Structure 1
């Protein structure tokens, strides 16, 4: 006759006393699981915030560059001349007159 193999009894390992004795360990494992899940949510939210801030920064950069280009175009002499022509100002095409001090000429 073949010998019977020893039967693995779950009741022997998982009885009421063992469960009660290991409750603090189970609570610790539960706390670790909760912290792990919370950390994952925090990381996801942080990544979303970083992406949102990056997108807003790029939009601000594009807006700055377009406004700066527009301002540079409007500050050109020809553009300024066009704008002030509508209110009656004209560009001076004569050479400037050099002013001299008459008292300086009399002393020489």
Structure 2
């Protein structure tokens, strides 16, 4: 009959949900000093590695989002650059410049440019 007496250390008594859960999971051995003391360094190492892994994953996700945003911004800036470049090229054509300066009274010359020749004697005074 001594074998049937419950020991409070080894087996929890009662019919409550926690007692049933404790009997089902058999947590008594885990809470002894022998098991955790032996595996504590490994458990801490795995915990630290897990935290580093999670942090690295968040960092890489954030970096990927930043890269995607930057690529979209670069594409927008490239489109703006192309548009502005084509407008500048159109506005700097000789016919467009002549049309714009005609409004302020300037006219395009019909005489070709000529070269001014200076003699060496005139240059050295």
The answer to whether the superposition gives a TM-score over 0.5 is: yes
Residues of 2 paired with 1:73 and 1:99: CA distance?
Answer: 30
TM-score by length of 1: 0.72
Q: Which of 103, 118, 121 is the aligned partner of 1:86?
A: 103
Displacement of 1:15 in angstroms is 5.4
TM-score, structure 2 as length reference: 0.63
**Higher percent of residues as helix:** 1
Distance 1:24 1:99, change over 3 A: closer
Deviation at 1:14, TM superposition (A): 3.6
Structure 1 unaligned regions, length at least 5? 1-9, 104-108
Structure 1 residue ranges (4+ consecutive) displaced by more than 6 angstroms after TM superposition:
none
Measured in 2, the distance between the counterparts of 1:96 and 1:74 equals 23
Output the aligned Cα RMSD. 2.6
Q: Return the alpha-carbon distance in structure 1 between the equivalents of residues 49 and 113 of structure 2.
A: 87
1:11 Cα deviation after fit: 6.8
Question: 1:20 Cα shift?
Answer: 2.0
Cα distance in 2 for partners of 1:53, 1:96 equals 51
Paired position in structure 1 for 2:43: 26
1:98, distance to aligned residue in structure 2 (A): 5.5
Stretches of structure 2 that go unaligned for 5 or more consecutive residues are 1-25, 120-125
